[in-house]
């Protein structure tokens, strides 16, 4: 049924945009001309205002779908026009319909027809462009820029429209499915755990309010009943210092909520910070579970090799630049080199001997891997090669798979095709919907599992 509606939309816009030409080729009865014109104009204006109904969608998704529909119709009207003009020229239909044209070439009349076609179809494109550009959260910057700069380039613009339409359509149906699933989870309070959730970030990031390290995950968990807090440690410190900051934050959460314990979900180095706080800072009685996500429990061999082979001057320059930047961004005492050193294989093996798991705390882990370097952007597309060279196994761009296994291993997260799931994808860092991997649904399932275990 929807295909029939779309065909009708394309047909009506095509007829309006070529009305002068079509009336010349097949003149309607005089009594029908004005009603036909006003009817087509009324539909055209209404189509601009409400391109398509979208039941159960948010305002943003309705606007996004409207933009998709406007671009879709304009795209196929342009394709139809590209077939219509050569047909008229090849058959000589214009000269037969209008003998007064005489020796005037057909293209003159066709060019005059474009004076109506271009503004009518162009208005649909502009409306659709702005709806999509302002409401899409997943359309990549490169496609936005190309769309703005190259929409007028013949043939290439059709390819652009196709790629944008494909991306927007995927986003709409993906998000609509997410809303439906989330509504079920929210109704069942699937993430309403006994103890609050504390999300612990990894190295080189902070818990900023404006840019959430965990992307769309916290909001999804909260909607489904979870009580979510953040670790709050600085971006780069030795594990012992990060753990001390984390322990202080956890005690504050316990005081604020009145809970006896917390559930920790820790990414990357945050998993080591959490283990240190549990075992060596007396937090074991107050932690129900620790879930580590892509944490290098056995270290990163490539980090060890880089520290060994890079010139000391280069390392010192990187440290000064990093520490200066993050001190400006709010860290009290960032320590780039101290944080990186604690991720080497040698230091992690020593850490594991001195930091045994504690009885009464449930430990589990999960990992993801990239299938190819293009699965992620810079710098993970470069470090992926280094991890493969030195660790010699599948990795997420920073951490080797075997290094991430700790406690009960939940398995390796993957996506359909050869996209893979990178170190950043697994915490929704880029807010990207990856075919075959729904990061929000994964965390909802993870927290639901903690709830079912009584945590």
Residue 5, SS3 per DSSP: helix
CA-based torsion, 24, 28, 30, 33: positive or negative: negative
Same domain? For 158 and 285 the reply is no
Domain boundary, last residue among 148, 176, 204: 176
How many distinct structural domains can be found in the chain? Answer: 2
Q: Which residues on adjacent β-strands are paired with residue 365?
A: 292, 409
Look at residue 374 in the predicted model and tell me its pLDDT.
Answer: 82
Domain boundary, last residue among 137, 153, 176: 176
Inside any domain, residue 182: no
Inside any domain, residue 288: yes
For the domain that residue 225 is a member of, what is the CATH number?
3.40.50.1820
Domain hosting 15: range is 2-176
Inside any domain, residue 413: yes
Total length of the chain: 455
Look at residue 451 in the predicted model and tell me its pLDDT.
Answer: 97
Same domain? For 20 and 152 the reply is yes
Residue 74, SS3 per DSSP: helix
**For residues 331 and 233, what is the distance between their CA atoms, to the nearest angstrom?**
9
Same domain? For 269 and 159 the reply is no
* pLDDT per position as a tens digit, 22-42: 887 777 888 888 888 899 999
**For residues 159 and 236, what is the distance between their CA atoms, to the nearest angstrom?**
44
Phi-psi sector, 330: left (phi>0), alpha (psi -120 to 50), beta: left
Is residue 154 packed enough to be buried (19+ CB in 10 Å), middle (13-18) or exposed (0-12)?
Answer: exposed
Same domain? For 213 and 344 the reply is yes
Inside any domain, residue 438: yes
Same domain? For 356 and 426 the reply is yes
Q: How, if at all, do strands 262-267 and 287-293 pair? A: parallel
Inside any domain, residue 8: yes
Same domain? For 131 and 277 the reply is no
> CA-based Rg of the chain, rounded to a whole angstrom?
29
Same domain? For 317 and 408 the reply is yes
pLDDT band at 251 (very low <50, low <70, confident <90, very high): very high
Report the Cα 361 to chain-centroid distance in Å.
33
Instruction: Judge whether residue 411 has pLDDT over 80.
Output: yes
Same domain? For 440 and 415 the reply is yes
Is residue 322 packed enough to be buried (19+ CB in 10 Å), middle (13-18) or exposed (0-12)?
Answer: buried
Same domain? For 128 and 195 the reply is no
Is the pTM for the entire model greater than 0.85? no
Same domain? For 328 and 444 the reply is yes
**For residues 294 and 234, what is the distance between their CA atoms, to the nearest angstrom?**
19
- DSSP states along 347-372: HHHHHHHHS---TT-EEEEEEE--SS
Instruction: Judge whether residue 100 has pLDDT over 80.
Output: no
Look at residue 96 in the predicted model and tell me its pLDDT.
Answer: 65
Helices (H), 99-140: 106-135
Tell me the range of 49-53, 167-171, 282-286, 428-432 where mean pLDDT is highest: 282-286
CA-based torsion, 129, 135, 139, 144: positive or negative: positive
Query: Which two three-digit tokens encode residue 37?
Result: 């014109």
Same domain? For 375 and 233 the reply is yes
Inside any domain, residue 185: no
């Amino acid at each position: 049924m929807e295909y029939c509606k779309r065909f009708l939309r394309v047909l009506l816009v095509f007829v309006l945009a070529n009305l002068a030409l079509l009336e010349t080729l097949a003149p309607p009865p005089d009594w029908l001309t004005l009603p036909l014109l006003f009817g087509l104009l009324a539909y055209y204006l209404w189509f601009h205002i409400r391109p398509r109904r979208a039941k159960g969608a948010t305002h943003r998704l309705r606007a996004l779908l409207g933009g998709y529909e406007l671009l879709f119709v304009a795209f196929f009207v342009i394709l139809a026009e590209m077939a219509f003009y050569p047909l008229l020229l090849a058959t000589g239909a214009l000269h037969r319909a209008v003998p007064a044209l005489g020796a005037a070439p057909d293209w003159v009349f066709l060019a005059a027809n474009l004076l109506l076609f271009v503004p009518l179809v162009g208005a649909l494109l502009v409306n659709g462009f702005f709806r999509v550009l302002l409401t899409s959260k997943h359309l990549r910057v490169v496609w936005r820029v190309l769309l703005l700069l190259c929409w007028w380039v013949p043939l290439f613009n059709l390819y652009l429209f196709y790629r944008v339409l494909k991306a927007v359509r995927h986003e709409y149906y993906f998000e609509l499915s997410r809303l439906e699933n989330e509504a079920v989870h929210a109704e069942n309070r699937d993430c309403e755990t006994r103890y609050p959730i504390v999300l612990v970030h990894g190295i080189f990031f902070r818990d900023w309010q404006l840019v959430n390290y965990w992307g769309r995950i916290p909001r999804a968990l909260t909607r489904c009943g979870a009580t979510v807090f953040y670790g709050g440690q600085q971006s780069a410190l030795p594990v012992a210092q990060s753990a001390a900051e984390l322990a202080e934050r956890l005690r504050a959460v316990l005081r604020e909520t009145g809970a006896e314990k917390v559930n920790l979900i820790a990414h990357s180095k945050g998993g080591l910070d959490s283990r240190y706080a549990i075992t060596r800072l007396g937090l074991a009685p107050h932690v129900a579970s620790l879930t580590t996500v892509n944490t290098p429990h056995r270290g990163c061999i490539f980090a060890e090799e880089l520290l060994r082979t890079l010139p000391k001057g280069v390392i010192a320059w990187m440290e000064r630049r990093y520490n200066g930047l993050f001190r400006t961004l709010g860290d009290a005492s960032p320590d780039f080199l101290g944080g990186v050193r604690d991720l080497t294989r040698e230091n992690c093996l020593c850490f594991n001997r001195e930091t045994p798991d504690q009885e009464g705390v449930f430990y589990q882990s999960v990992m993801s891997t990239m299938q190819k370097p293009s699965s992620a952007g810079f710098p993970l597309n470069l470090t992926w090669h280094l991890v493969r060279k030195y660790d010699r196994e599948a990795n997420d761009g920073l951490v080797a798979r075997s290094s991430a296994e700790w406690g009960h291993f939940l398995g390796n997260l993957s996506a359909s095709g050869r996209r893979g799931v990178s170190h950043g994808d697994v915490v929704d860092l880029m807010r990207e919907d990856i075919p075959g991997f729904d990061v929000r649904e994964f965390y909802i399932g993870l927290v639901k599992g903690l709830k079912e275990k009584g945590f």
